Amino acid sequence: MLGWGNNQKKRLGDMLLAAKVISEEQLKDVLNLQKSQGKKIGELLISQNYITEEELATFLSKQLNIELVSLRDIKIDDECLQIVSKEIAEKYKIMPFEISQNKLSVAMSDPLNIMAIDDLRIITRKRIIPFIDTLSEIDKSIKKYYSKQDNVQTLHEIEEELKIDYTKSKEEDLVLDDIENAPTVKLANSILVQAIDNKASDIHVEPFEDYVAIRYRVDGVLYENMKIPKSVYQALSTRFKITAGIDIAEKRIPQDGRIEMQLNGIDYDFRVNTLPTIYGEKIVIRILDKRGSLLSIDSLGFNDKDLEEIRNILAVPNGVILVTGPTGSGKTTTLYSFLKEVNTEDKNIVTIEDPVEYTLDRINQVQVNSKAGLSFAAGLRSILRQDPDIIMIGEIRDEETAQIAIRASITGHIVFSTIHTNDAPSTITRLLDMGIKSYLAADALSGIIAQRLIKKLCPHCKEAYLSSEKENKILNLEESQTIYKSNGCNKCNGLGYSGRRAVHEIVRINGPLKKVIEKNGTMDDIREAAIESGMTSLYENCRNLVLKGEISVHELLRTVEVEG
């Protein structure tokens, strides 16, 4: 990590030892590793978990009297990127972040790298002021800021190579060699990589009259990442279509495709959908990180009470367990987590999905194929002849699928599925509206989990204030309390929110609730019985998060319906 000479390496170890940051045994261990691996001592200390990057940076800052800086908190100006090239930044693991007259402030992982400082001084003709930040933060900043600069250069290269005036040339004039040129491939890959680095769930490539917008959906919110000239759009869109296995000659109807790619050592699935618009085909790419299948139910945001209830529901020998909520509320992730919880060697688990989002070990997964006649219902009938213990249906969309699922549970199977309803109690009335007999629904259902994804306030900039009279009414408070609202800072890109968490409403179908269902009780009757049985509503869970300072009132109102 740090470019110390031999004496300096020893000195660093001695300094850390003297300060009791590491032990003698730990120092001996990394010195032995250094002989065999040739790595820097700081890097080895971190890789062996003897010290964190942050602890080492703080220690060096105090010992060397060099100021710490957090690149996460700084918005770096384009002028810094122009004065120091990406190659230099990567070579020396530095990030320029501020220019002031004849001075250039630079974040470094190794502030004693004299060669780096001398080279920067010669290149920039400025006095170099070193600061300390962790190597991981410097790497993130290099990727974040220089990738946008790379895209501008790539766009120029594509325009030069294609030599197309979009207003005068026909799309048919584009040949495959043009689409497969290196700049086009580079731009397409860069868009995918930047989306992953930004933790986006979707990429929107949207053609308009004079430009094309590239937007990313992060934490449920779309924001524009870049604009590209209309002249290069056809090359880019065709590149995406070729990679996804979509017919490039067909532009009149929507099409679906899939890209499988490994980036940064991680396997990703990109689900590609095209939609004809008046200015060209809009492309939306859903990003599926295959590591998502590793989520456990403990990491889904259930509180202790709800987590215990979930495990009680999953322990039943047979029954239908439904997860409900709007599109994009994380239902599939929750289902996969349930499957992981019950996936043991003695279970035969079969799923039918549209699409199969993550591949799971020891689970037989079936992809719906409507063109070939393999619907949810048809696939489910065949699955029942495969001696399953547990069945997962991607979604209950119609009466036929609902009927088969209900009967499968009654004959001794556990059935997981999703359904689109607003909350847990209304799921029961939806099944009854689908034609399921009330006595069958009461007998078959084991549990219902309603779910929403809600944006968390950025912990670095959230602003405290006393709730207003209107907010007291929304939160059912007798007097004003301290709550928080969004503000915006560099760490959250000015959004005021950072990350999302799930909130739930869980109904375990017990004796009293079964009786209400059997008697064709109204939704209000079902809701009342569910609350008496221990259900905490989505509203109550969101309200608790507002009072804890995790979310805003605005986010509560956006997520759940508030009476009155």
Any bridge partners for residue 222, and if so which?
A: 217
C-alpha 521/C-alpha 535 separation (Å) is 17
Any bridge partners for residue 353, and if so which?
A: 367
Please give the DSSP secondary-structure letter assigned to residue 454: E
Element holding 58 (H helix, E strand): helix 53-64
In a domain? residue 480? no
| Res. 231 pLDDT band, cuts 50 70 90 | confident
Residue 241: the pLDDT is 94
Please give the DSSP secondary-structure letter assigned to residue 271: E
CA-CA-CA-CA torsion sign (515, 519, 520, 522): negative
- Which range is least confidently modeled, 53-57, 282-286, 315-319? 53-57
Q: What is the mean pLDDT of residues 293-314?
A: 83
> Looking at the structure, do residues 437 and 339 belong to the same domain, yes or no?
yes
The number of distinct structural domains making up the chain is 3
Q: What is the mean pLDDT of residues 131-143?
A: 87
Residue 151: the pLDDT is 62
> Looking at the structure, do residues 275 and 301 belong to the same domain, yes or no?
no
CA neighbor of 539 nearest in space, from 564, 514, 508, 516:
564
pTM, rounded to two decimals:
0.70
pLDDT at 170 over 50: no
> Looking at the structure, do residues 208 and 109 belong to the same domain, yes or no?
no
- Which range is least confidently modeled, 40-49, 281-290, 453-462? 40-49
> Looking at the structure, do residues 328 and 253 belong to the same domain, yes or no?
no
User: Which residue type sits at 369?
Assistant: N
CB 498 within 8 A of CB 458: yes
Question: Mean pLDDT for the chain?
Answer: 85
Residue 352: the pLDDT is 93
- Which range is least confidently modeled, 222-226, 435-439, 501-505? 222-226
> Looking at the structure, do residues 92 and 189 belong to the same domain, yes or no?
no
In a domain? residue 39? yes
Tokens of 34: 């250094």
pLDDT at 2 over 70: no
Residue 475: the pLDDT is 94
Instruction: For the chain, give the percent of residues with pLDDT over 70.
Output: 90
CB atoms within 10 A of CB 129: 14
In a domain? residue 129? yes
Q: What is the mean pLDDT of residues 170-193?
A: 66
> Looking at the structure, do residues 130 and 233 belong to the same domain, yes or no?
no
In a domain? residue 389? yes
Residue 162: the pLDDT is 56
Domain residues for the domain of 116 are: 12-135
> Looking at the structure, do residues 325 and 406 belong to the same domain, yes or no?
yes
In a domain? residue 254? yes
How far, rounded to the nearest angstrom, does the alpha carbon of residue 424 sit from its chain's CA centroid? 25
pLDDT tens column, 544-556: 999 999 999 999 9
Decide: helix, strand or coil at residue 559.
Answer: helix
CB 332 within 8 A of CB 355: no
pLDDT at 78 over 90: no
> Looking at the structure, do residues 341 and 439 belong to the same domain, yes or no?
yes
pLDDT at 168 over 60: no
> Looking at the structure, do residues 101 and 234 belong to the same domain, yes or no?
no
Q: What is the mean pLDDT of residues 240-257?
A: 92
Residue 154: the pLDDT is 64
Higher pLDDT, 234 or 358: 234
Q: Report CA Rg, the chain.
A: 28
Domain stops at, among 135, 151, 169: 135
C-alpha 61/C-alpha 153 separation (Å) is 37
C-alpha 159/C-alpha 233 separation (Å) is 10
> Looking at the structure, do residues 269 and 304 belong to the same domain, yes or no?
no
> Looking at the structure, do residues 305 and 284 belong to the same domain, yes or no?
no
Q: What is the mean pLDDT of residues 500-525?
A: 91
> Looking at the structure, do residues 443 and 518 belong to the same domain, yes or no?
yes
In a domain? residue 282? yes
CA neighbor of 91 nearest in space, from 104, 109, 105, 74:
109
pLDDT at 167 over 50: no
